[in-house]
Chains A and B, each alone.
Chain A
C-alpha cells in the first residue's frame, strides 16, 4: 500500500467530506431526500474507504470492532427507547406528540431521535459486516 500515493492522498481528502455529507444527509432528511438509513451507510462508507486504502489494521485502530458492534445495539436501543419514553410520558408507543410542549415540536424531537437511532445502527452494522468479511483469511484449497 505504501506506493499508492495518489490513492492515499485522494482518500485522505475525500473521507472528511464523505463523513460531512453523511451528517448533512442525516440532518437535512426532514427537508430533502435522505435520512438515518442513507446517512448511516454513507458514514460507514467513509470508514470502509479508509480500511480499503490504509488496511484493515489501521481501520480497526481508528474504530475497533467492539465499537461497531456496540453502535449496532445502541441504535436499536435509542429507537425503542424513544417509544418507551413516550409510553412513560403518557402517550402511545412511538407517539411523539407527548415529547414536547406541543405536538409539532414533539414530532420534531421524536423523528430526530429515531433517525439518530437508525443512523447509529446502520453505521455499526455496515462497518461490522465489512470487518467480518474482510477479517477472514482465505482458506487453503
Chain B
C-alpha cells in the first residue's frame, strides 16, 4: 500500500515539475511550487520524518509562497519567452541529473538496520535520550540538547538572513530618517547636490 502512495506522490511531483517548466504565468508557477512543497511534505511523512514534513509544509508551502507572491507583485507575473531554445542548460541539467542518479546506485538500501547512518551516534541517542533528557521525542532532544550548538548556529543563520534582507530591500521610516540625517550632516552625493538636474519630483 505504501508503495502505491509513494509512486503516486512521486508521479505527482514529476507532473508538477513539468507544469512549472512549461508555465509562463509566474503566479501559477508560485502556486505550483507550493503544491510541490506540499507533495514533498507528504513524501517526508511517508518516510516517517514528520518533523521535516512539518517544516516543509509550513515554510516551503506557506511562507515562501507568500514571499514569492510578494516579489511577483513588485516585478510583474509574466515570464518572457526565450528567443530560441537553449540547449546548453538542458545539457547541464541532464548531465547533473544523470550523475545524481549514478550516485544513488552506491547508496545503502533504504531503512536497513546496519546502514552506516544507524551505526554511529544514533543508537546512543535512541538508548539514552529518554533517561538523559526526559523528552520522549528524540528529534527534539537531539535538536535542542545533544546538538544545541548546531541549532544555535541555525538560529543565528535565520537572524543573519533578516539582517541581509533589511540591508538590501528594506524601506521605511527609520531608513528615511537615516538618510535625511546624512543630508543634514552634509553627506550628500554629487548628483543630488546639483540643482536643476533632478527636477522630476
Binding site for B on A (CB under 8 A): 25, 29-38, 41-42, 44-45, 48, 52, 65-66, 69, 72-73, 75-76, 79-80, 83, 93-94, 96, 103-105, 107-108, 110-111, 114-115, 117-118, 121-122, 124-126, 128-130, 132-139
Contact = CB atoms under 8 A, between A and B. Distances in A.
B67 interface: yes
B159 A104 contact: no
16 contacts: A31-B136, A45-B58, A72-B162, A79-B155, A94-B148, A94-B149, A108-B134, A110-B145, A121-B159, A122-B155, A125-B161, A125-B162, A133-B169, A134-B70, A134-B73, A139-B74
A133 to B, nearest CB: 4
Given A38-B58, A129-B161, A136 B143 contact: no
A103 B132 contact: yes
Contacts of A107: 132-135, 141, 145
A48 B152 contact: no
Contact of A114 (B55, B144, B166): B144
A41 B63 contact: yes
A124 to B, nearest CB: 7
